[in-house]
Structure 1
Amino acid sequence: MTNSFSPDELIVIRGRGRVSALGQSLDTFGTSSPFTTRQTGLHSLPIAALPPEAEAALQELRRSQTAYRQLDRTVLLGLLASRQATSAAGWDNARPVSPDPREAEISVSMGSSRGATGRLEEFHAEFLREGSVPVAASPLTTLGNVASWVAYDAGSTGGANLSHSSTCSSAFQALGNAMAWLRAGMTTRFLAGGTEAPLTDFTLAQMQAIGIYSPFAAQDFPCRPGAGKPSTFVLGEGAAVFALEKVFAASLAEQPRNQVAVLEGVGFGFEAIGSKTGLSVDGKHFQQAMRQALGQSGCALHEVDAVVLHSPGTPAGDAAERAALRAVFGEALPLLLSNKWLIGHTLGASAALSLDFALHVLETQQWPRPPFPTDLSVPSGARPLRRILVNAAGFGGNAASVIVSLR
Structure 2
Amino acid sequence: MSAEDLIIIRGRGSVSALGLGSEGYAAPSPTFTTRNLGTRALPVAALPAAAEAAVAALRQQHPSYRQLDRTVLLALLAARQATKQATWNESDKQTSLAVSIGSSRGATGRLEQFHEEFLTAGTVPVAASPLTTLGNVASWVAYDAGAHGGAALSHSSTCSSAFQALGNALAWLRAGMADRFLAGGAEAPLTDFTLAQMHAIGIYSPFAEADWPCRPGAGAPSTFVLGEGAAVFALEKASSQALQQEKLAQPDKPIFRLESVGFGFEAIGSKTGLSRDGQHFQIAMRQALTQANCTTAAVDAIVLHSPGTPAGDAAERAAIRAIFGENVPSFTSNKWLLGHTLGASAALSLEYALHLLTTQAWPSVPFATDLGPTPTRPLRRLLINAAGFGGNAASALVSLA
Q: Distance in 1 between matches of 2:230 and 2:245?
A: 32
Q: Are residues 1:245 and 2:240 paired?
A: no
Letter in structure 2 aligned against 1:325: I
> Bigger shift: 251-260 or 298-307?
251-260
Equivalent position of 1:199 in the other structure: 190
What does 1:146-225 correspond to in 2, within 5 Å? 146-225=137-216
Q: 1:375 aligned to 354, 370, 373, which one?
A: 370
Whole-Å Cα distance in 2 between the matches of residues 166 and 205 of structure 1? 21
Aligned to 1:104, what secondary structure does the other structure show? coil
Match of 1:17 in 2: 13
Q: Distance in 1 between matches of 2:96 and 2:86?
A: 14
Corresponding position of 1:117: 108
Equivalent-residue separation in structure 2 for 1:287 and 1:154 (angstroms):
36
Report how far residue 260 of structure 1 moved.
Answer: 1.1
Q: Which residue of 2 aligns with 1:388?
A: 382
Q: Report Cα offsets for 1:102-121 as digits up to 9, x if no partner.
A: x5231100000000000000
For residues 24 and 67 of structure 2, the distance between their equivalents in structure 1, rounded to whole angstroms, comes to: 33
Structure 1 Cα separation of the partners of residues 33 and 394 of structure 2 = 30
Contact map agreement 1:282 1:324 (CA 8 A) in 2 = yes
CA contact (8 A) 1:32 1:219 kept: no
Q: Please say if 1:405 is aligned against 2:399.
A: yes
Aligned to 2:23: 27
The TM-score with structure 1 as length reference comes to 0.95
Offset at residue 374 of structure 1 (A): 0.4
What does residue 323 of structure 1 align with? Answer: 318
Q: Deviations over 1:218-240 (max 9, x none)?
A: 01110000000000000000000
Which residue identity does 1:388 align to in structure 2?
L
3-state SS, counterpart of residue 255 of structure 1: helix
- In the alignment, the residues of structure 2 paired with residue 233 and residue 77 of structure 1 have an alpha-carbon distance, to the nearest angstrom, of 22
Task: Compute the displacement of 1:172 (Å).
Answer: 0.2
| Per-residue Cα deviation, 1:311-367 (whole angstroms, up to 9, x for no partner) | 000000000000000000002211111000010000000000000000000010003
Distance 2:188 2:36 in 1: 17
Report whether the alignment pairs 1:53 with 2:50. Answer: yes
1:99 maps to none
Counterpart residue number, 1:100: none
Contact 1:41–1:201 (CA under 8 A) maintained in structure 2: no
Shift of 1:31: 4.3
1: distance between equivalents of 2:2 and 2:283? 22
Query: What is the CA-CA distance between 1:297 and the residue it aligns to?
Result: 1.2
Cross-structure match for 1:297: 292
Correspondence 1:40 to 2:31? no
Give SS of 2:340's match. coil
SS in 2 for 1:15: strand
Are the counterparts in 1 of residues 22 and 351 from structure 2 also a CA contact under 8 Å? no
Contact 2:28 2:337 in 1 (8 A): no
Given that 2:180 and 2:236 are in contact with CA atoms closer than 8 Å, whether structure 1 keeps it comes out as yes
Q: Which whole-Å CA distance do the structure 2 matches of 1:317 and 1:20 have between them?
A: 23
5+ residue gaps, structure 1, are 97-102
| Structure 1: 4+ residue segments shifted above 3 A | 28-31
How many residues are aligned here? Answer: 396
SS in 2 for 1:64: coil
- Residue 249 of structure 1: how far off its partner (Å): 1.3
Three-state SS of the structure 2 residue aligned to 1:231 is coil
1:229/1:315 contact within 8 Å kept: yes
Aligned-residue identity in percent: 70
Question: How far apart, in 2, do the equivalents of 1:158 and 1:370 lie?
Answer: 45
Q: What letter is aligned with 2:233?
A: F
How many angstroms apart in 2 are the aligned matches of 1:203 and 1:196? Answer: 12
Q: Is the 8 A contact 1:268 1:398 kept in 2?
A: yes
Specify every segment of 5 or more residues in structure 2 that has no aligned partner in the other structure, as ranges: none
